């Protein structure tokens, strides 16, 4: 039986990953706006909303960081802005299928980066999972003659982002607020340049476009808050099981709603990734149980 705290954690995880999964619909509604301008508004309105949340909850102290943390936050801010821009551009340019593939690959990339930079030991089944995923990507290169650059860029930019953020140990909302504050000056400068060129969309098209752009802060912050609430109530293993919901929903939306192509070549690539993730998830679950049993035995 699950206790009430765990159930609430599951609801928050469903809300977070479900929201991330349907986010392409929001960006599609802004398909007539430049991806860079969308990114700028996402940054600007996120700053207002995140600072408001921190002020309302009395957690403005989360913005206090060391000089080292501040320097690394600049790196994570750049990685996050690259990730957001690639994702937005992929949605608008009808590459939603490739975007979903990127987030299916991401957990495997995280394991690979942990091995390279944290000297984490890869267990045999993890090596098999990564090899199968690489085989799927290699098949796409062989059949289509090109790497899935969008997928790999999303997976590795977010992977490196997570790797650095893990070492910073920042407050989830406070950390993102610092990152968006660092993105704010370039975002404002970019919008000023758009305005000088007569290419700005905000306040120049219609009211619905303005409202959608302003909602960029909610699109950024709402799932993050739900995710933070989920991981506070669930084990990391349990929370990790929900992460495949977002790219799965994105893939369904790409095929069913936006009629993106999903031929046999992509199907085989995705099948390899799904098999790899299945092996990876089962192995992680069994490893977690073995460690738990070992700890309980040692305590007895």
The closest of 106, 96, 161 to 276, measured between CA atoms, is 106
Mean pLDDT on 128-136: 91
Tokens of 170: 């920042």
Note the pLDDT of residue 145.
77
Q: How far is CA 93 from the centre of its chain?
A: 19
Which residue blocks in 3-34 are alpha helix, DSSP H?
4-29
As a residue count, the chain comes to 300
Nearest to 205, CA basis, from 2, 37, 14: 37
| pLDDT 10s digits, 271-288 | 999 999 889 888 877 877
With both helix axes pointing from N to C terminus, report the angle between 264-299 and 124-144 in degrees, rounded to the nearest 10. 170
> What is the number of other CB atoms lying within 10 angstroms of the CB of residue 215?
18
Cβ-proximal residues to 1 (8 Å cutoff; 6+ apart), any chain: none
In contact, 50 and 177? CB cutoff 8 Å: yes
Asked if residue 293 has pLDDT above 80, the reply is no
Cβ neighbours, 10 Å, residue 61: 9
Count of domains for the chain: 1
pLDDT at 248: 93
pLDDT tens profile 12-62: 889 999 999 999 999 999 999 999 999 999 999 999 999 999 999 999 999
pLDDT at position 2 over 70? no
User: Does the predicted model carry a pTM greater than 0.85?
Assistant: yes
Q: What is the largest CA-CA distance in the chain?
A: 72
Q: Write b or e for each residue in 87-105: b if 16 or more Cβ atoms lie within 10 A of its Cβ, otherwise e.
A: bbbbbbeebbbbbbbbbbb
pLDDT tens digit sequence for 78-105: 999 999 999 999 999 999 999 999 999 9
Range of the domain at 158: 4-299
Confidence band, pLDDT 50/70/90 cuts, at residue 1: very low
SS3 content of the chain, % helix, strand, coil (to 5): 80, 0, 20
């Amino acid at each position: 039986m699950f206790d009430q705290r765990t159930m609430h954690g599951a609801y928050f995880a469903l809300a977070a990953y479900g929201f991330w999964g349907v986010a392409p619909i929001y960006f599609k509604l802004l398909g007539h706006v430049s991806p860079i301008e969308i990114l700028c508004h996402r940054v600007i309105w996120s700053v207002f909303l995140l600072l408001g949340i921190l002020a309302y909850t009395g957690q403005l102290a989360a913005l206090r960081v060391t000089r080292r943390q501040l320097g690394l936050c600049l790196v994570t801010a750049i990685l996050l802005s690259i990730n957001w821009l690639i994702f937005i551009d992929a949605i608008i340019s009808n590459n939603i299928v490739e975007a979903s593939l990127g987030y299916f690959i991401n957990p495997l990339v995280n394991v690979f980066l942990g091995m390279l930079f944290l000297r984490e030991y890869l267990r045999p089944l993890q090596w098999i999972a990564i090899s199968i995923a690489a085989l799927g990507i290699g098949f796409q290169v062989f059949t289509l003659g090109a790497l899935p650059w969008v997928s790999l860029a999303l997976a590795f930019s977010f992977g490196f982002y997570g790797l650095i953020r893990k070492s910073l140990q920042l407050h989830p909302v406070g950390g993102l607020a610092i990152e968006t504050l660092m993105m704010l000056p370039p975002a404002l400068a970019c919008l000023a340049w758009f305005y000088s060129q007569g290419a700005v969309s905000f306040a120049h098209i219609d009211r619905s476009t303005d409202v959608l752009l302003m909602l960029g802060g909610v699109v950024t912050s709402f799932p993050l808050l739900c995710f933070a609430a989920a991981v506070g109530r669930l084990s990391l293993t349990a929370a990790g099981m929900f992460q495949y919901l977002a790219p799965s929903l994105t893939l369904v939306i790409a095929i069913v709603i936006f009629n993106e192509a999903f031929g046999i070549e992509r199907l085989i690539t995705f099948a390899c990734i799904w098999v790899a993730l299945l092996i990876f998830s089962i192995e992680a679950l069994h490893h977690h149980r073995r460690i738990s049993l070992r700890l309980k035995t040692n305590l007895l």
